[in-house]
Amino acid sequence: MIRAVIDGREIEVEQDTTILEAAEKLNIPIPTLCYHKALEPYGVCRLCTVEVVRRGRSRLVTACNYPIRDEIEVFTASEKVLKGRRMIVELLLARCPEVPLLQRLAAEMGIGKPRFSLKEDNCILCGLCVRVCRELVGVSAISFVGRGVEREVATPFYKISEDCIACGACAFVCPTGAIKLEDVTDKELRPLLLEFDMGLVGRGNIYTPFPQAVPNVPVIDREHCLYFLTGNCRTCEHFCPANAINYDQEDEIVELDVGAIVVATGYDQFDAHLKPELGYGQYPNVITGLEFERLSSASGPTRGKITLNGKEPKDVVFIQCVGSRDKTVGNEYCSRVCCMYTAKQAHLVKERIPNANATVFYMDVRAFGKGYEEFYDRVRKEGVMYRRGSVSEIYQRGDRVVVRAEDTLLGEPLEMEADMVVLATGVVPRADVEDVAGLLNLERSSDGFFAEAHPKMRPVDTARDGIYLAGCCQGPKDIPDAVAQAKAAASSAIVVLRQMQNPKLKAQSSKLETRNSKLETETGVLDGS
């Protein structure tokens, strides 16, 4: 270990540790525009210049590539250092006067308007984009062209690159935003979107799927990770202090002997694209209830501020029963949750945007739970307008959309402009419901959900002993009902496991099942089923 003193603070580091790395360990900031942990530093921007005193001699060096090999003293903000940095920033600002990063650095250093003008550009020729493309991605789709004052970053012969894979690494590392992928490639640019936030915000190739994930650790998106696509990159290894990156980890199939199974596979949201007349996917003003839920959540992409395209809506329309009670899409059942989550969301609009107008188009309001009717009445008293009628069409008019509907109570058609339309999409069986049913040999009801053994006597059991249902895999239900059913399913599973340990309990249970079977038969006769 070698002793070094940086701005009066002592630190011991391994030989050949750079001054910049040592300063980072002491949380001493040194500005730089061309440094990247995954690349060999070469000090092209010279903004990281510091003063080094070694054996009584002082000199200016670039901190990013100066290795510590014996005892030195470093000054990161001496007068000589600050004077040199101000000159560098002034020259860069003269070349790129509109770059916010340089403007901020100039303001911090007390630099006013540059004394001279070199060029109207955004590129500071740091070379990060070129080096990342060549050394990490292994493509070399862009490079330096020209010499002297004509030097710039471009594709060969200034043509669209056929080698570019549209990974976006060059644009990501560019400190000034000079790189535009549209100038490099004609391949379709598809940003990665976070599924938990309903695609309203982007994510990286390494991300945590959702809060409270089990296990709650980040995962690598292998379909888009450059290492799995090209065999290159491995940049994340340089940024993970815990050395937790493992590219060789594979999925494992584990076989377990179990005594009971609780099926709680949940549901899917109705795909609003199946109702094209409502404009979902065509107009940015039209969103689903789950998307609104993320917008209004304190942990969502807008931190709970209800905005769309950066603007706060003043007229919000909610449309209920989208994908529920609708023979045209094959869902004749009620999804049960839509009426109340629409009422809650309309309440949030009135609470967070006091001057906003909230209108709900509905068929019937089914406020069936404890305290639900009272909440529905409260929302109407807050100023939410409920209009009974179905919406036939949504189309765009300028920056807003127009909702065309019929008010069935007044018996007249109407059109209403809105800044935001929220579709209360219903609950449908999961896409893999058929596979799970085949795997566990489960029956399904006419609406496509898993069928219980008996709707009254055995509401959480299935036709197969030891397999129980919980939550919306059995049918649409709200949170209280899902919690109650989950507790019942867990209790039933515990009973089975206990019986496996005690043969006497198993015999008693067999007698009880025989008696229940007789009751089911008698109940069926009374119900006419």
Per residue in 131-180, pLDDT (tens digit) is 999 999 999 999 998 888 788 999 988 888 888 998 889 999 999 999 98
Judge whether residue 529 has pLDDT over 50: no
Across the chain, mean pLDDT equals 91
Instruction: Specify the amino acid at residue 457.
Output: M
Instruction: Specify the amino acid at residue 293.
Output: E
Judge whether residue 520 has pLDDT over 90: no
Exposure of 421 in the CB half-sphere (CA atoms within 13 A) = 31
Would you state the structure tokens that stand for residue 74, as one six-digit string?
A: 């470093």
Tell me which residue of 495, 493, 490, 453 sits closest to 474, measured CA to CA.
453
Using the CB atoms, write b or e for 190-226: b if 16+ within 10 Å. eeeebebbbebeebebebeeeeeeeeeeeebeeeebb
SS3 145: strand
Options 3.50.50.60, 3.30.70.3400, 3.40.50.2300, 3.30.450.40; CATH for 268-428 is 3.50.50.60
C-alpha 413/C-alpha 407 separation (Å) is 6
The answer to whether the peptide bond before residue 100 is cis (omega within 30 degrees of 0) is no
| Confidence grade of residue 448 (pLDDT, cut at 50, 70, 90) | very high
Chain-centroid distance, C-alpha 264: 24
The pLDDT of residue 523 is 58
Which whole number is the average pLDDT over 379-403?
Answer: 95
Exposure of 348 in the CB half-sphere (CA atoms within 13 A) = 21
The pLDDT of residue 21 is 94
pLDDT tens-digit series, residues 257-266: 999 999 999 9
Q: What angle do CA 42, 204, 180 make, to 5 degrees?
A: 60
Q: Which residue has the higher pLDDT, 422 or 518?
A: 422
- Between helix 338-352 and helix 372-381 the angle, nearest 10°, is 40
Strand 268-269, strand 427-428: pairing: antiparallel
| Confidence grade of residue 519 (pLDDT, cut at 50, 70, 90) | low
Which whole number is the average pLDDT over 123-132?
Answer: 93
| Confidence grade of residue 75 (pLDDT, cut at 50, 70, 90) | very high
Judge whether residue 319 has pLDDT over 70: yes
Instruction: Specify the amino acid at residue 188.
Output: E
Which whole number is the average pLDDT over 66-75?
Answer: 93
Strands (E), 244-295: 261-263, 268-269, 286-288
C-alpha 158/C-alpha 160 separation (Å) is 7
The pLDDT of residue 255 is 94
Which whole number is the average pLDDT over 10-19?
Answer: 93
Which whole number is the average pLDDT over 337-349?
Answer: 96
Instruction: Specify the amino acid at residue 252.
Output: E
* DSSP letter assigned to residue 287: E
Exposure of 133 in the CB half-sphere (CA atoms within 13 A) = 27
pLDDT tens-digit series, residues 31-67: 999 999 999 998 899 999 999 998 889 999 999 999 9
| Confidence grade of residue 242 (pLDDT, cut at 50, 70, 90) | confident
The pLDDT of residue 383 is 95
The pLDDT of residue 518 is 66
Enclosing H/E stretch for 515: helix 503-527
The answer to whether the peptide bond before residue 215 is cis (omega within 30 degrees of 0) is yes
C-alpha 67/C-alpha 167 separation (Å) is 33
SS3 468: strand
The CATH code for residues 2-77 is 3.10.20.740
Q: Write down how long the chain is.
A: 529
Residue extents of the structural domains in the chain: 2-77, 128-183, 268-428, 433-527
Judge whether residue 461 has pLDDT over 90: yes
CB contact at 8 A, 133 and 112: no
Which whole number is the average pLDDT over 308-330?
Answer: 94
